A and B are shown apart, each in its own frame.
Chain A
């Protein structure tokens, strides 16, 4: 019944490796996001897709590549991992409330640790 589910929950890997995080939502939302939460808990948007099309691409290194095979899925692939990539990555999806507001629903997060 989980609305936004992401896997894996934990990732521990060596510098230089490549890793992927997968996300799926069953809310019927058209828009999905990746947010990064650093060690100080600051939440920063990385990417946003609307109906499989990239609509927001913040200043993120090219080593990060999102892919949306359909509007219910948004994956994040990270090449050549660096120590500074260690963070919690949150997937989210959004739909319009009756008020017209953009309500985000977050997944439980994927904690990436780069050694």
Chain B
């Protein structure tokens, strides 16, 4: 069974530029999560989707971050414009359902903002 796929693996941009990350969850997983992991810290949830609807985006900085999951499968996370403090690893995870199912993580995208 294929795991969670993410691309790109690495991205370097200048501040004020835009960037987008892509995630393909495990087949059949209804719930998709985006996390931000700053160096030296644990992941922090940014947004959670159930199928193509947003369940929780309370920790997403909505002035610059946006995310979508239009057909209930793939998802895209965008940052526009990027700031220096956005440098982090962005992890995508998926689970079968909404509640207490185990989350499976992708390899992440390492973003460096210069």
Q: Are both chains from one complex?
A: no
